[in-house]
Structure 1
Amino acid sequence: MSDYLADQDREQRITLLVILGIGSIMLWNTQFGALLLYPFTILTTWFHEMGHGIATIFMGERFESLQIYPDGSGVAISEVSPSRNVLQDAIISAGGPIGPGLAGAALIASSRTLKGTRIALAVLGAALLVTSVIWVRGLTGWLVLPAMGLAILAIARQANPAQQRFAIQLLGVQAIISVWAQLGYLFTQGGTLDGRAQISDTGAIAEALLLPYWFWGIVLSAVNIALLWWSLRFAFRR
């Protein structure tokens, strides 16, 4: 009987996280929801642009700064060498959609143990504070990201274990679903940045690797769904 109740509780928690994730995607695409979730919008932008930045560093290039605009858009500014190849360009472009998925999966997986949960909360909170000093530019990022970092550190120190686990799982889900924060972005050749037209990540990958942008949109979506499925399965496995 206890095993049945435990399995039922796990299913309910997983269902709640999935519902909150889907609900967030729907809310992000409404005027009221965008206002309600504004701090999470800035957080998802941070996840996305840091993904580009870290991919840039891994490719041996220089990550200069991360600009966040009041409308929630952002850009990772990097200094890249003219001798870079198309594969490096594709990986840097894919870092935005894939980096948050990898980070989110790690956050969710960490919730398997209480120690892992607390470490993940501390690392994420500290990362928001440190990157705000080193790379983040713009008043919006300076106001929102450190505040969220401090809030996450407070949860790591003061919340009870159940609240800590739920918080890191929710943050992990938000990181993974950030790729769909703007419905259709993955399946267009371009988007907007601070009100200006700009090529999308999948458009940039398509330019580097030839296959159409919608193909890479499908691939990136599938990878993020797989990361979400694996991480939830790992975190809630008995």
Structure 2
Amino acid sequence: MNKWLKTILFLMASVFLTRMIPFSSLFRNLDTMIHEFAHALMTLVLSGKVLRIELYADHSGVTYSSMLTPGRSILVSLAGYIGASLFAWLLFYLYRKGRHIWGLGLMTAVALVSLLLYVRGEFGMLWLTGFIALNVVIMIFGAKISKYYYLLLAFITLEESVVSAMYIGWASLTRPSQAGDAANLAQQTFLPALFWGTLFALFALWCARGALTLFFRKEGTANAPRSRRFDRA
């Protein structure tokens, strides 16, 4: 089967299955947190100022920043979807390397920094507090389930990175002025929102393909003799 088709079909099945898990909707804000944190991080890298981040119950979010030139604003707008897709890929890389606790620690650290420095608003602060507390409990007392908890977070993050990018791609076609980051980029460049929305969607699918390749390779080689295991860097 074509690898792209396999990626899409597996993602569709994953979206359906994870939505059957009780309270899984609460974890879908993880991708939003990473998306907005990527905007904030790029702002800081470019010497801008992050004013605040807001996370909402409908899994949307917004980052407010200042002191950015038009050219730098382009990079900040690009960082959200691209950063979220790369982070999802990173979670599967860490899983393949047997470092899922590192991944949990990284998610917790991002949540903690976001809570202490940037996120304002009742829902966002409450969600981050609960997420941090749950992660700490899992890392300390949940050794037997930490791997499965991590995989749940990894798959939900991967799904949301693709679904949100696909949504913005569709929005850039049907209502380009309301297409979020794609609309922002269209205002700052000579390229239409449809170009940016399509770029985000294709990049998310490419990262998803890489992430799932790592996942299946991990499962397929888990019991192989150490001396005969070959990994591609």
C-alpha separation in 2, matches of 1:222 and 1:183: 8
Q: Unpaired runs of 5+ in structure 1?
A: 1-13, 28-32, 192-196
Equivalent residue of 1:184, what SS?
A: helix
Deviation at 1:92, TM superposition (A): 0.9
Deviation at 1:137, TM superposition (A): 0.4
Deviation at 1:70, TM superposition (A): 4.3
Which segment drifts farther, 178-187 or 40-49? Answer: 178-187
Q: Say whether the 8 Å CA contact 1:206–1:216 is kept in structure 2.
A: yes
Q: Say whether the 8 Å CA contact 2:179–2:193 is kept in structure 1.
A: no
Amino acid at match of 2:34: F
C-alpha separation in 2, matches of 1:79 and 1:15: 38
Q: Say whether the 8 Å CA contact 1:47–1:175 is kept in structure 2.
A: no
C-alpha separation in 2, matches of 1:103 and 1:225: 13
C-alpha separation in 2, matches of 1:20 and 1:150: 30
Equivalent residue of 1:63, what SS?
A: strand
Match of 1:125 in 2: 108
Amino acid at match of 1:134: L
1:203-233, CA deviations, whole angstroms, 9 ceiling, x for partnerless residues? 1122223222122222111111111221232
Deviation at 1:128, TM superposition (A): 1.3
Q: Say whether the 8 Å CA contact 1:44–1:175 is kept in structure 2.
A: yes
Task: Tell me whether 1:174 sits opposite 2:156 in the alignment.
Answer: yes
- 1:1-238, aligned counterparts within 5 Å? 18-19=11-12, 21-23=14-16, 37-81=24-68, 84-86=69-71, 88-114=72-98, 116-160=99-143, 163-179=145-161, 180-181=163-164, 184-189=167-172, 200-237=180-217, 238=221
Identity %: 22
C-alpha separation in 2, matches of 1:227 and 1:156: 27
Q: Say whether the 8 Å CA contact 2:35–2:83 is kept in structure 1.
A: yes
Equivalent residue of 2:65, what SS?
A: strand
Q: Say whether the 8 Å CA contact 1:101–1:224 is kept in structure 2.
A: yes
User: Where do 4+ consecutive residues of structure 1 move more than 6 Å?
Assistant: 14-17
Equivalent residue of 1:78, what SS?
A: strand
Count of aligned residue pairs for this structure pair: 209
Distance 1:15 1:67, change over 3 A: closer
Deviation at 1:55, TM superposition (A): 1.8
More strand by percentage: 1
TM-score of the superposition, structure 1-length normalised?
0.73
C-alpha separation in 2, matches of 1:164 and 1:113: 15
Deviation at 1:136, TM superposition (A): 0.9
TM-score of the superposition, structure 2-length normalised?
0.75
Amino acid at match of 1:146: T
C-alpha separation in 2, matches of 1:231 and 1:183: 17
Deviation at 1:138, TM superposition (A): 0.8
Equivalent residue of 2:96, what SS?
A: coil
Deviation at 1:79, TM superposition (A): 1.4
Deviation at 1:135, TM superposition (A): 0.9
Deviation at 1:182, TM superposition (A): 8.3
Q: Say whether the 8 Å CA contact 2:32–2:61 is kept in structure 1.
A: yes
Distance 1:210 1:24, change over 3 A: farther
